[in-house]
Amino acid sequence: MSIQGEKLQKVLARAGVGSRREMEKYIDANRVSVNGKVAKLGDRVEETDLIRVDGHTVKIEEKADRICRVIMYNKPEGELSTRKDPEGRRTVFDRLPRIDGERWIAVGRLDINTAGLMLFTNDGELANRLMHPSYEVEREYSARVFGEVTNETIKNLTRGVELEDGPAKFLTVKSLGGEGINRWYNVTLNEGRNREVRRLWQSQDVEVSRLIRIRYGKLELDKRLPQGGWAELDLETVNYLRKTVKLGRETQTKLSVMPEKRKDKRAKINQIRKAVKKHNQRVKQTKRK
């Protein structure tokens, strides 16, 4: 299938440079050129065009040339959801495995003080659709809150409140108990605006002291996965995510298609824990220097 006539940002997203939304920002910032000329939003490209991003040539691939891959990451608090930080702080990308000729694209972000489930993929179109509000992919969070939560509070949060960037609400709010005015609640919503969960609670004079994302769509955070650990998702799970956002099935995977034995699963988790521990030790040694 030829890429002739496809929009530039879509082609760049498929090439794994970033999500379609990110590529639109790159183009708008004059960071992309086509055949030596600065690109603009709305440009369409052909297979023979020479595309550069920040001066680096982008290898354009057909849809069939790439195996769609997705990894689950258990983000700890204290890591930024950016590729690089000018202040040298830890980022979620520091621990991810390298992929030749491609790079991982984050499916949304979690702020520095939020932990839990993050997804990364090499398919920019999949990332774009999973983040796009039109697909209404449900997210679930566990939040420890400080403050008085009444029935009226819950009603307000599920009916909707006005935030500075528009109306917002939780789909569900479920009490998990707790002591005094420190209580845990599981909340769901189907969009991922910046710090939306925290801002919704703050609108009711309630502060979030801990926040963990535990589910994205029907995909739950693997409780065996240690903080700072990652695991690649199998073909069935990848295709669940693709189907959720109306993309065609992937037929290939980098993983073994043989069912894993229980002892093999335990060995894999132990291996992940060792890798996380080793990475943390390297970070501590670097800080001492």
pTM of the model: 0.78
Average pLDDT over all residues of the chain? 88
pLDDT, tens only, 18-58: 888 889 999 999 999 999 999 999 899 987 899 999 999 98
Name the pairing type of β-strands 207-216 and 114-121. Answer: parallel
Q: Which residues are catalytic?
A: 111
**CA 44 to mean position of chain CA atoms:** 27
Which sign does the torsion angle of CA 8, 9, 13, 14 carry? Answer: negative
pLDDT at 61: 65
pLDDT band at 74 (very low <50, low <70, confident <90, very high): very high
pLDDT, tens only, 205-245: 999 999 999 999 999 999 899 999 999 999 999 999 999 99
E strands, the chain, where? 6-7, 32-34, 37-38, 44-45, 51-53, 56-57, 70-75, 105-106, 114-121, 139-146, 161-163, 166-168, 172-179, 182-189, 207-216, 219-220, 230-232
pLDDT at 124: 86
pLDDT of 139 strictly over 90: yes
Q: Kindly state the average pLDDT of the residues 161-168.
A: 94
pLDDT, tens only, 172-189: 999 998 777 789 999 999
pLDDT > 70: what percent of the chain?
Answer: 89
pLDDT at 65: 66
Least confident span in 40-54, 83-97, 264-278: 264-278
pLDDT of 248 strictly over 90: yes
* CA 133/CA 237 separation, integer angstroms: 21
pLDDT at 264: 62
pLDDT at 175: 94
Contact 32, 26 (CB under 8 A): yes
* CA 44/CA 50 separation, integer angstroms: 12
Record the tokens describing residue 72, joined without a space: 């689950």
Q: Kindly state the average pLDDT of the residues 5-19.
A: 83
